[in-house]
Chains A and B, each alone.
Chain A
Amino acid sequence: MLSTATLYVISVSLLLGGTAGFVMHRSDFCIAGVFRDLFLFRQAFMLRILLLLIFASMILFELARHFGILRDYPYLWIAPASFSNIIGAFLFGIGMVLAGGCVVGTLYKMGSGNLLSLYAFGGLLFGSVLYAEIHPLWTSLFAQTLVFSGLATLPQLLDVDPTVPVLLVALLVSALWAGVLRGLPWTRGAAAEGYLQPWKAALFLALIGLLSYVFVGMPLGITTAYTKLGAMVEQLFFPQHVAGLSYLSAQPIHYLPPFSDLTLIGGAGPHFDAVAIIQYPLIVGIVLGSAFSAIRLGEFRVHLRAPRRQIVSVIAGGVMMGLACRMTPGCNVWHLLGGLPIFSLQAVFYLIGLLPGAWVGSRILQKIVVR
């Protein structure tokens, strides 16, 4: 029998995931595409939209903190920065471009019937459990390259109120708005039916991130569930091996859902626990939300034919992303839409690794995959 707290978290996550999936499909909001198109086509339109999303999230999170709506600040499961994060993010950057979408992009594309994204999803699960094999080694590297005395955010490091950097960034954005951003387009003339302008999608996603923070206790994140799901599959074939992996048997997470006094435990292993009740419904929600949108538009269709190079690329990209998600840990959505808005130092390191990774991925895609 599920507790009220568990049912509450599942319902909220499913609803938020479903809305995000619908919004992402309507505007084809691909964060991997933001970086890929910047390097491949010198197109910065979606980069501006992503910056809008991060800025809007920053303002919303700060207002929520200011008015005492956030129970936890920084949010639950935030981690300190280590140079190992940069390596993980670099690998993630290559992987997301080769897979044709990040961990969230893969889900909404899969929901609309894209078979290549389903292959990438398989790669993600494999890569995620592959990490369990190197976890002890990676934990050691993480600890050895830890910086800033284990502090998680810039305001903590500088010992200032978070309002200070928020105001500074707001001033910077205002100056950019009046300067280099002046006159640049914020809408595009897409002919797709039911198209949602990306700037509107960005504001919706910022709001969804805030609702997740307030009602779940943290911003959107789904990657530990990939390991969990992969471990469930692996357990069917190699139960003894799975039981012997420290990463999959540990349950280090203690989760107290907002508006609840029942602490739940969780981890990356093949158990139905705190991670499962938060992240599984998000994954299912994004896929279903996107599928609903595609079906409503009459655009849901599975195409079985794809060039072999592309199939290899998306599977390899998925494996890289899965592995990288645990090395970082976390994905681009977790770091860029959750971490950067509260000045997470790990998110800054993540961005430093992600950019060159996406550049390398774009080169490989252009030279080898799509010829």
Chain B
Amino acid sequence: MSEQIAELIEFDIRGQICPSTLLTALREVNSHRSALKTGRVQLAIMTDNRDSTATIPDSVRNMGYAVTVKKTQDHYRILIGK
């Protein structure tokens, strides 16, 4: 990998109203569009919303970004990047 990740921006949406997780993900992906495309930024979203583990990857992949979802203890960590 030639480029390094400059910044990991984390959002803790656990315990919030539906669909905060998806709204936050879409808003932040849009506002960090160019930095995400070049790999300078990655977004990490912590959520306890099971539905988001389907809706966020669906939406964000359609926008051309890579997404991984991992379960960490009692919640899910959704990583969005280049």
Q: How far apart are the CA atoms of A32 and B55 in the complex, in Å?
A: 15
Binding site secondary structure of chain A? loop
Task: Let me know if B19 and A300 touch, CB within 8 A.
Answer: no
Task: Let me know if B74 and A305 touch, CB within 8 A.
Answer: no
Q: How far apart are the CA atoms of A281 and B59 in the complex, in Å?
A: 39
Of B1-9, B28-36, B44-52, the segment with at least 4 beta carbons within 8 Å of chain A is B44-52
A-B contact pairs, 29 of them (CB 8 A): A28-B50, A33-B18, A33-B51, A36-B18, A41-B22, A43-B55, A100-B17, A100-B18, A113-B48, A114-B15, A116-B17, A188-B58, A189-B54, A189-B58, A190-B53, A191-B53, A191-B71, A192-B53, A193-B71, A195-B54, A299-B48, A301-B74, A303-B48, A304-B15, A305-B15, A306-B15, A313-B17, A366-B23, A370-B19
Assess A310 versus B48: contact at CB under 8 Å? Given A116-B15, A190-B53, A191-B54: no
Q: Which of A282-328 contact B (CB under 8 A)?
A: 298-307, 310, 313-314
Q: List the B residue with the shortest CB-CB distance to A317.
A: B17
Interface residue tally for chain A (C-beta within 8 Å): 41
Task: Let me know if B50 and A195 touch, CB within 8 A.
Answer: yes
Q: Which of B62-82 contact A (CB under 8 A)?
A: 69-71, 73-76
Q: How far apart are the CA atoms of A334 and B47 in the complex, in Å?
A: 31
Given contacts A113-B48, A301-B74, 13 further A-B contacts (CB under 8 A): A28-B49, A33-B51, A36-B19, A41-B55, A100-B17, A116-B17, A191-B76, A192-B53, A193-B71, A299-B50, A306-B15, A307-B16, A310-B17
Q: How far apart are the CA atoms of A298 and B23 in the complex, in Å?
A: 26
Residues from chain B with Cβ under 8 Å of A188 in the complex: 54, 58
Closest 5 CB pairs of A and B: A303-B15, A190-B54, A191-B69, A192-B50, A28-B51
A37 touches B (CB below 8 Å): yes
Assess A192 versus B55: contact at CB under 8 Å? Given A300-B74, A303-B15: no
